[in-house]
Amino acid sequence: MQKLHRKKTFLIIGARPNFVKVAPVLTEMKKYRNVFKPILVHTGQHYDFEMSKVFFEDLTIPEPDIYLGIGSGKHGEQTGRIMIELEKIFLREKPDLVLVFGDVNSTLGGAIIAAKLLIPLAHVEAGLRSFDRTMPEEINRIITDALSDYLFTTEFSANENLKREGIAEDKIFFVGNVMIDTLMRYLEKAKQSNVLERFHLSNRKYALVTLHRPSNVDIKEVVAEILEGLQYISQELSVIFPVHPRTEQKIKEYGFLTKFEIRSHASAKTKGIVLIPPQKYRDFLALEYNASLILTDSGGIQEESTALGVPCLTLRQNTERPITVTVGTNIVVGTKKERIIEETMKILKGTIKKGQVPPLWDGMTSQRIVETLLSFKSGRYRNNLFLARA
């Protein structure tokens, strides 16, 4: 068989959830060194490079081949800067394939430029829909999927969403959840973490909270409602809140640090809400695994809690990951304190939703993604993209 040149494959990442998703795909792709030439492009969407390095080291991701240093900004401004820089790089480097992950602005920017330059495009975590277009991520998902040639899905509902939107079935691949590949790879190491000792926590004796979506943290009344619910819960058990820098800034701006008994240290008898710094992946995974329950507005944490079998209350009006509700441990409770308290008290009294791990959330998703890229003839380009494993 004639040997083709190594396919220059650009993997575009920009924020912490992307790091968790790219790690196993990059590892699997490197098993085919005579076929792929993977190039990791970090846009720097949310973190400066020094902060990103902590996550890269924790997940054993090599330093990016290209770092753009875009930084934060309004959606249009940030996405525009990403597109301008990626276009320069794509024109210079001429990639054979572009992979984008999830639903952040780096995902959208990479997708648009790849499509305009007629470069085959793969979207990892395609087809998820909240059906709420007030969410910037929803716009990113819809556009990225419309432009993609390979749509790798995590659950059956995503396949149905894509077909309803007119995506050809031969572009859709149900492969499972690549985030769970990373979770399964690091779970045993997470169990060895000393994070509980560092924050004076007892196993199954605390609630874990994350909050970062603008629809929650940018509205003072919504933040107050959530914090009132958390304060009530904290009279029953510790409430541990690894706080996003932007969320912390908003809490300070609203004057809530003293109003809601928010502290920066914990003990077994702590009352109130305890803010701690953002944690490394393995330490945060340990906090998830050992929690009594998780309260979050993060999509990825809804999935991780389902995989771990930990009760999860989603502080939103909807979810783009419905399988975490229909099959997993997740309940969407909104942001009203009464409902947050009610569902938390049910869990603490032993009324716990018995979830299951969804199909193909088995730690093998990255293998299925790479095998698909090796064997599939693209419907749009009709070129035999890759050879068998070298």
pLDDT of residue 270: 56
CATH of segment(s) 187-348: 3.40.50.2000
pLDDT of residue 48: 56
pLDDT of residue 388: 32
Q: What topology does CATH give the domain 7-176+361-375?
A: Rossmann fold (3.40.50)
Instruction: Write the single-letter amino acid at 190.
Output: A
- Of these residues, 46, 212, 244, 265, which one is catalytic? 212
pLDDT of residue 380: 40
Question: 267: Cβ–Cβ under 8 A, 6 or more apart, which residues?
Answer: 200
> Rounded to an integer, what distance in angstroms lies between the CA atom of residue 90 and that of residue 87?
5
Angle at 383 between CA 381 and CA 388, to 5 degrees: 135
SS3 (DSSP) at 314: strand
Delimit the domains of the chain by residue range. Answer: 7-176+361-375, 187-348
Question: Distances from the Cα of 248 to the Cαs of 53, 224, 243, 321, in angstroms?
Answer: 22, 13, 6, 26
Is 200 annotated in the active site?
A: no
pLDDT of residue 249: 92
pLDDT of residue 348: 96
CA-based nearest residue to 227, from 261, 253, 198, 194: 261
Question: Distances from the Cα of 189 to the Cαs of 59, 184, 202, 306, in angstroms?
Answer: 11, 10, 18, 19
What's the pTM value of the predicted model, to 2 decimals? 0.92
Decide whether 7-176+361-375 matches 187-348 in CATH topology.
Answer: yes
**390 residues of the chain, pLDDT tens digit each:** 455 578 999 999 999 899 999 999 999 999 999 999 999 999 998 755 556 778 888 999 999 999 999 988 889 999 999 999 999 999 999 999 999 999 999 999 999 999 999 999 999 999 999 999 999 999 999 999 999 999 999 999 999 999 999 999 999 999 999 999 999 999 999 999 999 999 999 999 999 999 999 999 999 999 999 999 999 999 999 999 999 888 999 999 999 988 777 766 655 455 678 999 989 999 999 999 999 999 999 999 999 999 999 999 999 999 999 999 999 999 999 999 999 999 999 999 999 998 999 999 999 999 999 999 998 543 343 344 433 323
